[in-house]
Amino acid sequence: MTYKPKNVVITGGCGFIGSNFVNFIHGAWSDCNFVNVDKLILNSDTQYVDEEVQNSPRYKLALTDIKNTEAILKIFEENEIDTVIHFAADCTSTRCYNETSEAVHNNVLAFVQLLESVRKYGKIQRFVHISTDEVYGDSGLGDDEQGKTENSRLAPGNPYAATKIAGEAYVRAYQSQYNLPIITARMNNIYGPNQWDVKVVPRFIEIAKVRGEYTIQGSGKQLRSWLFVDDASAGLKAVCEKGKLGEIYNLGTYYEKNVADLAQVIQQEVDAQLNRPYEPPRYRSIPDRPYNDLRYFISIEKAKEYLHWEPTTSFEEGMRRTVASALKPKKAVKMHVAIYGGKGYVGLEVQKTLLEKEIPFVLATKKVGVDADAEVESELATLGATHVICVTGRTHGPGCNTIEYLEGGPDKVDINVRDNMYSATVLAHLCRKLGIHHTYIGTGYMFAYDEKHPIGGPQFKDEDEPTFFGSAYSVVKGFTDRQMSYFNQKGWENLNVRITLPLSLDLNQPRNLLSKIINYKELFDIPVSITILPDCLNSMVSLMERRVGGTLNLVNPEPISLFEIVKLYREIKPDSAGPDPIAIGADTERGKQLLATKGNCALDTTLLQQLAPVSTARESLLVHFATL
C-alpha cells in the first residue's frame, strides 16, 4: 500500500539535498503542506528554495535547531505533522575532522533530541532518516567488486560516517523501544544545484570559470558514484511512499568517475556554456585527508525491486543543469538575527547594517537580568533566530553621559554586572543550548599602553587578557571578555568582538565619537585604535554568516589620534561648525594623567585582516567624511 503524507516537516531543507528535495516534492506531493526546519548552518541558504515554493501557501520556513524541543513540538502540534524527512546534518567530512566533537553534537546529540520530540508528540506516521553510503567504508577498485548491500558490514572511514552510524544506532533503539515508524535511506555521492562550494563539483566549477589549477587531493584516482540530486529526491519519495517501516534502502547509481576525469567534464561544460573554446584542465596535487576512501560502491537492487526506483538522469544532463545553475547570479539569505540591546547607539548601527545587507532580524523583547531567565529562553527558542547579537552593554545612565555613571554604590554594581556581564554570559549559554550562533559586542576599553605595549610598539593581540582596570566598567567588561573564552571552545559558535571608540556617520547621535570630539576644545594627540562602525560591522556580519567563533579585535588597522580625526574632518569639511581643538601631547602633565587613568591602547588587527579585511582608520575616514 502506498503511504500518502499530508503535513510534512523537512529538516535541513535549506541545505543542498534538502532544498532540492523541497523544490522537487512540493510539486510531486501537490496536496501536502510543508514546514522546512533549518538552523542555517554553513552550507544553507533560504534562497535555495525556489521562489515559487517560498510563495506557496503550502510552504512554511521555521528557523531553529532540531534540538530545540520547545520549538519542534510547537511546529509539530500547530501544523498537525504526520511525516518527517530528516536531512539536517553537519555533513562535510573535512569539517568533521577539524571539529569532531561538534559533529557529534550536531549529528548525534541533536538528532537524539529530535527523536525525543517525535516520541513525545506521538503522531508521526513516517520518519525517513537520511544516512550515507560512507557508513560502509571503502570498496575495492576492481571491476569485479560487488556493491555493498544494506546488510554489509559497517566500517566508517571518517568521523562524519562514524556520526551517521551512531545516528542509525539510535534509530534502531527508538524503533525497538518506542516503535517509532522510521525508514533509513543510505545515499550515494550526490551532485546538483545549491551544493556547498567546499564540495568538489561546485569548487571545480569555480575553478573552471577562471581556468585555474584544479587542486586534487592525493592521486585524484578516487572513484565516486555520481547521483543527480533530483534522482535522489525521487528515491526518497519512493522510500516514504513504498518503504517498509524499520527497513534500510540504498539509493545510488552505478555510474562512476574519478576526480581527475570529473575536472575535464566540468571544464568542457563550463567552457561550452560560456561560449568559449575548451581548454584542458591543469592539475595541482594537495595533501590528502588523513584517510580518504578510494571508492564508495553500493548495490541499489533492493530499491529497484521493492521501491521500483532507479536513477533516470544521465551524468551529462545532470552536469549541464548543475553548471547552468551555478553560472546564474543568486541572492543569498543565510541568517535571521535576534538583537539584544538593539535600541542603543551601537545596536541602532547594527540594525542599519543588517537592513543595508537585506538580512532579516528581530529585536528581542525580553531583557536578560530584568526578565526571568526562563522567560528569556522561551522567547529565544521561538524567535526563529539563527544568530544572536548581544549589544546590551551599559556605558552611561540618567544624569551622566559617560562610564563614570557606573562608579558608586551597590546599585551601580548591580546595573554594571547585569548589563555588562550577566546578560552576555546568559545569552552565550542559551545560544549554545539552542544551537544558535552568538556574537557578543564587547570592548577594547580594558587595555592600556604599558611597558610591554608602549605607544608605537607592539599592539594588544586577540588572545591577550585585559590589562586596564581603572574603572568599574573596564573591570566588569574585562571579566566578561575572559568569560567568553569558555564559549570559544573549538567548534562552539561564539564570536567575541572587541570594539573601541565606536565612530559612525550620524552626527545627530550624541553617543557617536565623531559627534562628541568635533565640539571638544582639547583633544588627546596619541594614536589609539578606533572602530569605524560602517566598516567593522560589515566585517562582523560577514563572519557571523560564516559562523566564525573566537575572540577578535574589531577595529580599523593603524591607530589614529582623536586630534588627527578632527583635523581630517576640518580639512574635508572646512565649513563645519566647531572649534579648532588644542592638541594634548603624551609628554604633557595632562597627557600623562590621561594615559594613567584611561584605556588608551592599540589593538592588533592581523587576524581581522585575514578573516574579513577593513580599511585603515585614516583611509576609511577620508572616504566617509567626503560623503557627509
What is the full DSSP assignment across 549-590?
A: -EEEE-S-SS-B-HHHHHHHHHHH-TT--S--PEEE-TTSHH
Asked if residues 194 and 45 have their Cβ atoms less than 8 Å apart, the reply is: yes
Q: Which contiguous run of DSSP H or E holds residue 199? A: none
- Give φ, ψ of 286 to 5 degrees: -125, 160
CA–chain centroid gap for 89, Å, is: 14
Nearest to 583 by CA among 531, 520, 532: 520
Candidate list 48, 59, 136, 160, residue with the active-site label: 160
Q: Can you tell me the distance from the alpha carbon of 232 to that of 243, in angstroms, rounded to the nearest whole number?
A: 15
Candidate list 82, 133, 464, 535, residue with the active-site label: 133
Nearest to 215 by CA among 281, 136, 298: 281
**H-helix segments, 331-449:** 345-356, 373-381, 410-417, 423-434
Candidate list 45, 65, 99, 134, residue with the active-site label: 134
Task: Say what the pLDDT of residue 289 is.
Answer: 55
Task: Say what the pLDDT of residue 215 is.
Answer: 84
pLDDT in tens, 465-493: 999 998 999 999 999 999 998 888 777 89
CB neighbour list of residue 397: distance below 8 Å, 6 or more residues apart: 405, 406, 415
Task: Say what the pLDDT of residue 295 is.
Answer: 72
Task: Say what the pLDDT of residue 408 is.
Answer: 80
Asked if residues 53 and 22 have their Cβ atoms less than 8 Å apart, the reply is: yes
pLDDT in tens, 7-64: 999 999 999 999 999 999 999 999 999 999 999 987 899 999 999 999 999 999 999 9
Q: Enter the C-alpha cell of residue 317.
A: 544532463
Residue type at position 131: S
Q: Is the pLDDT of residue 73 over 70?
A: yes
Nearest to 10 by CA among 51, 53, 55, 70: 53
pLDDT in tens, 342-377: 999 999 999 999 999 999 999 999 999 999 999 999
Task: Say what the pLDDT of residue 292 is.
Answer: 55
More confident call, 523 vs 591: 523
Task: Say what the pLDDT of residue 220 is.
Answer: 61
170 tagged catalytic: no
Up-side HSE of residue 342: CA atoms within 13 Å toward CB?
18
174 tagged catalytic: no
Asked if residues 394 and 420 have their Cβ atoms less than 8 Å apart, the reply is: yes
- According to DSSP, the residues that pair with 528 across neighbouring strands are 560
Residue ranges of E strands in 138-232: 182-187, 190-191, 213-217, 223-225, 227-228
CB neighbour list of residue 150: distance below 8 Å, 6 or more residues apart: 186, 247, 248, 249, 250, 302
134 tagged catalytic: yes
